[in-house]
Amino acid sequence: MSICQNLQQIKHRIQTIENQLPNKQTHVKLLAVSKTKPVSAILEAHQAGQLAFGENYVQEGVEKIQHFQQQGITLEWHFIGALQSNKTRLVAEHFDWVQTVERTKIADRLNEQRPYYQSPLNVLIQINVSDEQSKSGIQAKDMLALAEHITHLPNLKLRGLMAIPAPTKNPEEQKQAFQTMQNLFIQLQQALPSQQIDTLSMGMTDDMQMAIECGSTMVRIGTAIFGAREYV
């Protein structure tokens, strides 16, 4: 199937899951994960109505962003990879969202390096919900301290949380991780009522349904839209 057909199928699937929920929630946003994909694939997705794209690698993402800016095409760009200190300037200058903030040092650098003429950078705190040593993200117990710190940075706008739970074939384990994130999201909203905490980014191609059932407001889909990843 084409990228356009894949997008239609994914959007229909999201709508179907939403309609089955006991309490109708906010519309779930689809983030198309375009890492390793050529600009031609992104353009095809855009022509099919997709506006938000996620990139894992800084330099690759910046090159794509600049390409579409030169074409006069406005897209929404999310950085969703692990962010090193020496790459924060490029992210702060070019992306609209950063979903992987996990340290005050990274938050401070993004705040300092965000150009004054741009709107505040939307950020999510990444939680290491499955407590994996190999995964990025902070421990749940440290969430509120980091969130409070971010609210005092004028060039950043805290929007919520993001997680990548450990892959599992056990539905109960999967559900538990997503429910933990849902509870942390509610806790964050209650702790910072004056902030626009409206985004819980969790769920990918294989676990999208459970994520949405547990309150996800944004799913990150790559394979089901663009096909298998291409590595060079």
Mind listing the pLDDT tens digit for each residue in 32-45?
999 999 999 999 99
Is the per-residue pLDDT at 130 higher than 90? no
Flag whether 231 is in a domain.
no
Q: Mean pLDDT throughout 193-208?
A: 95
Dihedral pair phi/psi, residue 161, rounded to 5°: -130, 160
Instruction: Tell me the pLDDT of the chain averaged across its residues.
Output: 93
Token pair 């699937």: residue: 13
Q: Mean pLDDT throughout 74-100?
A: 97
Looking at residue 232, its pLDDT comes to 45
Instruction: Specify the 3-state DSSP secondary structure of 157.
Output: strand
Structure tokens given for 193: 């009522």
CA-CA distances (angstroms) from residue 84 to 1, 6, 126?
Answer: 37, 33, 14
CATH number for position 48: 3.20.20.10
The residue among 223 and 169 whose pLDDT is bigger is: 223
Looking at residue 44, its pLDDT comes to 97
Flag whether 228 is in a domain.
no
pLDDT digits (tens, 9 = 90+) for 144-178: 999 999 999 999 999 999 999 888 888 888 899 99
Looking at residue 167, its pLDDT comes to 82
Flag whether 200 is in a domain.
yes
Flag whether 230 is in a domain.
no
Flag whether 226 is in a domain.
no
- Asked whether the beta carbons of 79 and 98 are under 8 A apart, the reply is yes
Domain hosting residue 93, numbered range: 3-221
Q: Enter the pTM of the model.
A: 0.95
DSSP β-bridge partners for residue 199: 160
* % the chain with pLDDT above 70: 95
Looking at residue 108, its pLDDT comes to 98
d(C-alpha 215, C-alpha 73), whole Å: 32
Flag whether 125 is in a domain.
yes
Q: How confident is the model at residue 25 (pLDDT cuts 50, 70, 90)?
A: low
E-strand stretches of 118-214: 121-127, 156-163, 199-201
Flag whether 232 is in a domain.
no
Looking at residue 26, its pLDDT comes to 65
d(C-alpha 223, C-alpha 198), whole Å: 26
The closest alpha carbon to 95, from 127, 69, 125, belongs to 69
Flag whether 78 is in a domain.
yes
Q: How confident is the model at residue 21 (pLDDT cuts 50, 70, 90)?
A: confident
Q: Mean pLDDT throughout 195-205?
A: 96
d(C-alpha 232, C-alpha 230), whole Å: 7
Is the per-residue pLDDT at 76 higher than 80? yes
Token pair 């994960």: residue: 33
Q: How confident is the model at residue 67 (pLDDT cuts 50, 70, 90)?
A: very high
DSSP β-bridge partners for residue 123: 98, 158
Count of structural domains, the chain: 1
d(C-alpha 227, C-alpha 30), whole Å: 16
